[in-house]
Amino acid sequence: MRSERRYVAGLYARLDAERARVKEEYDAALRSKDETPVQRDVEVHARAREMRRLDVADSGLCFGRLDSLSGERRYVGRIGLADEENDYEPLLLDWRAPAARPFYTATGANPENLRLRRQFHSAGRHLVDFTDEVFGRPTGDERGDAALLAAVNAPRGDGMRDIVATIQAEQDEIIRLDHPGVLVIEGGPGTGKTVVALHRVAYLLYTQRERMERHGVLVVGPNPAFLHHIGRVLPSLGETDVVFMTPGDLVPGLHVTAEDEPEAARPKGSLRILDVLAAAIADRQRLPEHPLPITLGGVTMRIDAETAEWAVEEARASGLPHNEARAVFTEIVTYVLTERAIARIGRGWLTRADRDAWEQLRSELLTELAGSDTFAAALDELWPILTPETLLAELYESPERLRAAGADRGLWRADGAAWTVSDVPLLDELAELLGRDTVAEKAAEQAAERERRDEASYAAGVLDLLRLDHEEMDEDVLVRADDLLHAGALAERFVERDTRTLAERAAADRSWTYRHIVVDEAQELSDMDWRVLMRRCPGRSFTVVGDLAQRRSAAGATSWAAMLEPYVPGRWLYRSLSVNYRTPAEIMAVAAGVLAEFAPGLQPPESVRSCGVPPWSRQVTEDELPAAIEEFVREEAEREGTSVVIGPPGTPGAVTPAQTKGLEFDAVLVVEPMRILTRSPRGAAELYVALTRATQRLGVLHQGPLPEALTGLVARTPADAGNRR
């Protein structure tokens, strides 16, 4: 023990030295005047990223040792450390390195050339104890039971923990899988599919960093609570260039307040909505009911239906998005108006043979049109610049527009801008169909150019002052002044640079594309959701995590093949996890009864442990229910760990099953299971989710009869409360 403590202490000393070195390089990069601003920013960001990587390794830096049959000894930990003074001899293997893999995969039957595997148990930086597994002995068994059970039995804290020290062989195989396309990881409750997917991201970033770091990784989860729950895992493994979003965050700046009811979510999630969106745009490309008068060169011209129809046909035929195609529409209308105006103005004295006079008059008329408010208003009426939000909100609010677009009547709502999660893929699709607002972009470019000219003028004035006062300057200032080749170079020094991290820049940019995307609770995503995600990842590199048995969305996946084959035919792999590390056998037996009712062909995952506490139920009256909930909350507050009350919407002090997807708690109280079961067509899946959130204790409160599927619950009375464990 003493020698191991000395070795671990030496690793921390090496870590501290590395931190000091990188911090010194970071400070030097900030002060550097020898590089261009861009080079300096790159160096600063690189050193900052390295500091973040080193800062996560304080707790459990080294968690194991491997001894080979040849006598070689290797230590395994969160990050890799080397001895710079001894030809970079490895002091600590990164858990993702190929040489560290036997730590997770070696068994008594296949020891992978190992003699011993040692598991360290630490508190902060202090090595407390270790356990050994010696291979080749008659009692040798597969690794990890003691460490694994200690981890799964430990009270839950605030957020998911990494499993880097207790990865099991079937998990490790998935984490290190070399597949460039889409990997589907399916598993029932508690199988660790989410944390396996996150460790896979860390592994990919380690093995393919150069390819992946410029674009980063996106992790999509069902709700903010879930993202908070998993948010520490990747940083704890040294990876920070990762963006976390819910499906409602995929359009930056949009404020999503709710989910649609099934009758609205279903048509919005179907690809048939694409025809509705295209029709809604076409409906705004109008022909005038009556000719629109435009004064031009002293004569009154008119935009008639025939002219507008020609312009619409040409604009649509261009293949450009709506807003960008407005330039084609405008060009056709402008051509017709100016040609007709020239003919009227020059009647009797001007012919096409007089090319110079004809073109001069055309130029004057074009200038007049460009400044005409009447012409601009006519363009806005016939081919308006549209934003996705405006178009979709006005579509929802108008039964007439919905009917014209061939939309389902259930999409109508009074407040069109009350955005739901199901609206996000529609808004993203509209952003592609509408394109850029080129008019606004041109105005912004002109404003930026004016600002650059002003900055250059200011810089030129500074240089003039430097030249006038050069006799009063010391030599160092003169040298630096000579380095300023022109006013533009000095102006560049005043430009505000983008100092955001990659993750911050990516999260704010709707058009950002990622190198890899993780999709959790993927069974809930619709066809339209997948269009958004595929657009975000042109390389089609995904880790997809889900459980079809837990699907609650009316527009969600019914099979992985149906969802993925249209996008990645033949490029997706399926892997399953069958061992439940979270839910004890007593609780899983109760949940299995519900699973058998709505998915009789599916087998529940096998639990690796029992908790010794039987799940219980208690029947209460409506008046007794609030006090019974408070009693549960009070009792659990006195215990170590976490707890939650889950019930149907509107239950005081409770969250809904949907809000707990992907989460885990030491103790769970499920309220009114019959109401959860019957409130929606996917109510059985919601009840299954609620029952499988607990890692230690499960209780059920009900007013009416229990659902028949809930077997195995021990009936309790108020008198039993004091005896609860």
Q: Strand 73-77 relative to strand 62-68: parallel, antiparallel, unpaired?
A: antiparallel
- What is the C-alpha radius of gyration for the chain, rounded to an integer number of angstroms? 33
> Token match 């992985």: residue?
560
Query: Residue 263 corresponds to which amino acid?
Result: E
The answer to whether 581 touches 152, Cβ cutoff 8 Å, is yes
- Our CA dihedral for 254, 258, 260, 261, rounded to 10 degrees, sits at 180
Query: Residue 593 corresponds to which amino acid?
Result: G
Q: Strand 89-94 relative to strand 299-303: parallel, antiparallel, unpaired?
A: unpaired
Let me know if 174 is exposed, middle or buried by CB neighbors in 10 A (0-12, 13-18, 19+). buried
Backbone phi, then psi, for 18, in 5-degree steps? Answer: -65, -45
DSSP for 454-496? HHHHHHHHHHHHHHHTGGGS-HHHHHHHHT--SHHHHHHTTSP
CA distances from 96 to 78, 288, 582 (A): 9, 66, 24
Backbone phi, then psi, for 65, in 5-degree steps? Answer: -140, 145
Cα angle 538, 184, 269; round to 5: 65
Does the annotation place 269 within a ligand binding site?
A: no
Does the annotation place 193 within a ligand binding site?
A: yes
Does the annotation place 189 within a ligand binding site?
A: yes
Task: Say which residues have a Cβ less than 8 Å from residue 587's Cβ, sequence separation at least 6.
Answer: 611, 615, 691, 692, 694, 698
The answer to whether 181 touches 507, Cβ cutoff 8 Å, is no
In DSSP terms, which residues pair with 134 in a beta bridge?
116
Does the annotation place 656 within a ligand binding site?
A: no
Does the annotation place 188 within a ligand binding site?
A: yes
Q: Residue 521, Cα to own-chain centre: how many angstroms?
A: 12
- What is the 3 state secondary structure string of 299-320? EEEEECHHHHHHHHHHHHHCCC
Q: H or E stretch including 688?
A: helix 683-691
Does the annotation place 190 within a ligand binding site?
A: yes
In DSSP terms, which residues pair with 186 in a beta bridge?
546, 576
Closest CA to 527 of 261, 254, 268: 268
DSSP for 520-538? SSGGG--HHHHHHHHHH-T
Note every long-range contact of 311-316, with CB atoms under 8 Å and residues 24 or more positions apart, other chains counting.
311/336, 311/382, 311/383, 312/285, 312/287, 312/383, 315/285, 315/383, 316/285
Does the annotation place 187 within a ligand binding site?
A: yes
Does the annotation place 338 within a ligand binding site?
A: no
The answer to whether 648 touches 679, Cβ cutoff 8 Å, is yes
In eight-state DSSP terms, residue 181 is S
Binding-site residue positions for ATP = 187-194
Binding-site residue positions = 187-194
